[in-house]
Amino acid sequence: MTTAPTYAEGAATRSRGAQTATIGVLMAISASHMLNDVMQSLAPALYPVFREKMALSFFQTGIITFVFQATASLLQPFIGLVTDRRPMNALLPAGMAFTLIGLVALAFADTYPLLLIAVAMIGVGSAVFHPEASRVARAASGGRHGFAQSLFQVGGNFGQSTGPLLAAFVVVPFGQHSVLAFTAFALAAIVILTGVSRWYAGHRAKPRVADASPRETLPRAVVIRTLAVLIIMLFSKVLYLASIGSYYTFYLIQTFGVSLQTSQLMLFVFLASVAAGTFLGGPIADRIGAKYVIWGSILGVLPFTLLLPHLGLVGTAINSIAIGLIISSAFSAIVVYAQELTPGNVGAVAGLFFGLSFGLGGIGAALLGALADRTSLTFVYQVCAFLPAVGLLGGFLPTAPGKVGAAKSAASSS
């Protein structure tokens, strides 16, 4: 004879169902991030084609990158700020529609102005996606904000590493019109994000349980100073990653005489360690606090970056894995920590740090390239080795107000 489930059993079943639903949302957001970042890699893969077809100078080629970065980076915090004040549920699939239009325009662009419009449309799609998707990830986190941001971000890491590979095997051999094949990615992302937007609309419509304890906030001057410190620390992280992502293969070939294939394999290993570190950083931040992950990630990688220019090939390979794991763990923690500092500005904060991460990486790569032209890649890595010393500033980061409130609540209940 079966018995009716108790209230507690029913509540537990509903809780498990809700957790399964939110994990599904997080996986969907992560998959969409992967698709978005794969599509971003297509324009650079076509640079040689456009240079020959349109007789572009290096300056004109650089302008293509500038237009994309300007739209993808600078618009993000403004879009996040606007949607923090006025949420728009359909914005995620609408943003991906911009990317779809941009891909079609890129496939058929036969003039330089049309080419710039195409990359600008892709940039707008990216600018809409990141702050809104980060907001949804936080909403679906179930309080595990670091884990949610890490899972969301690791999808982008996977897209960044596989995008150039797909472009090399599809776009480069088959030419400009082959970009149309990737519109299937955009259509898939639109379908996924439409479902995500419906979930988020329902989530926002649910009544919220009022928090009995007032939420602590830090003084405005402290918040501004802390955000400035976070940006400086982010710049050191992004600049070092730019030095590896852009010039690591050249360094390996020049220093150790390895083949191009071997250098690419070692770069892939580094990027895989970056993806692993990105994923691990969030859950660790949930356990010990984002502040300590940020501090440990930036400053903790310093011994390894100082060693890198002085190691042999095997040591370089092993050391690069440690660098990737440690330094990449900070980003999700930085986003979560900044969102705790500025409650009510989830989208604006995500847009600011995602935009800065992307934009500063491009600027940093150009500056380091100019330095390498004047000196050597070995000198570049010797200089960049000291960048993580900026992590010393982490000692001045205050405890995020959300953690303060949680700590006081736990103390009062014990």
259 and 375 part of one domain? yes
User: Could you give the angle at the alpha carbon of 331 between the alpha carbons of 327 and 334, nearest 5°?
Assistant: 120
85 and 111 part of one domain? yes
Indicate whether 173 pLDDT > 70.
Answer: yes
168 and 277 part of one domain? no
In a domain, 213, yes or no: no
Give the helix, strand, coil percentages of the chain, each rounded to 5: 85, 0, 15
**Token pair recorded at residue 124:** 């707008």
Domain CATH code at residue 194: 1.20.1250.20
* Residue 2 DSSP SS3: coil
344 and 392 part of one domain? yes
225 and 178 part of one domain? no
In a domain, 6, yes or no: no
pLDDT of residue 342: 84
* Residue 242 DSSP SS3: helix
pLDDT of residue 336: 87
Nearest to 136 by CA among 234, 32, 216, 40: 32
Cα dist. 71→118, 121, 355 in Å?
11, 8, 9
For 243-252, what is the mean pLDDT?
Answer: 85
93 and 167 part of one domain? yes
pTM for the complete prediction? 0.73
Widest pairwise Cα distance in the chain: 83
pLDDT of residue 319: 96
Per DSSP, 46 falls in state T
Indicate whether 208 pLDDT > 60.
Answer: no
In a domain, 90, yes or no: yes
Domain boundary among the residues 203, 227, 252 is at: 203
pLDDT tens-digit map of 150-163: 888 888 888 877 77
pLDDT of residue 271: 84
Indicate whether 212 pLDDT > 60.
Answer: no
In a domain, 210, yes or no: no
For 21-25, what is the mean pLDDT?
Answer: 82
232 and 194 part of one domain? no
199 and 224 part of one domain? no
In a domain, 102, yes or no: yes
Indicate whether 62 pLDDT > 50.
Answer: yes
Label residue 142 left, alpha or beta by phi (over 0 means left) and psi (-120 to 50 means alpha).
left
pLDDT of residue 20: 53
For 256-271, what is the mean pLDDT?
Answer: 86
pLDDT of residue 99: 93
Backbone angles phi, psi at 194, to 5 degrees: -65, -45
Indicate whether 67 pLDDT > 70.
Answer: yes
pLDDT tens-digit map of 5-22: 443 444 444 444 445 558
**Token pair recorded at residue 351:** 């847009």
Most confident of 175-179, 274-278, 306-310, 367-371: 306-310
Per DSSP, 342 falls in state S
pLDDT of residue 405: 40
Residue with tokens 């900044």: 338
**Token pair recorded at residue 343:** 């409650």
CA dihedral 103, 140, 355, 242 (to 10 degrees): -90
**Token pair recorded at residue 10:** 């029913």
Domain housing 277: 219-398
Mean pLDDT (the chain) is 82
170 and 274 part of one domain? no
Nearest to 31 by CA among 198, 159, 175: 159
Task: Indicate the pLDDT class of residue 410, thresholds 50, 70 and 90.
Answer: very low
291 and 319 part of one domain? yes
**Token pair recorded at residue 223:** 């918040």
197 and 240 part of one domain? no
- Total structural domains in the chain? 2
**Token pair recorded at residue 33:** 């991030």
Residue with tokens 């890129």: 106
For 299-317, what is the mean pLDDT?
Answer: 95
Q: Which residues have a Cβ under 8 Å from the Cβ of 380 and sit 6 or more positions away? A: 243, 247, 368, 371, 372
CA-CA distance, 169 to 255, in Å (whole number)?
A: 28
Per DSSP, 363 falls in state H
52 and 154 part of one domain? yes
Label residue 257 left, alpha or beta by phi (over 0 means left) and psi (-120 to 50 means alpha).
left
Task: Indicate the pLDDT class of residue 213, thresholds 50, 70 and 90.
Answer: very low
Backbone angles phi, psi at 101, to 5 degrees: -60, -40
Most confident of 129-133, 170-174, 341-345: 129-133
In a domain, 123, yes or no: yes
- Give the type of residue at 238: V
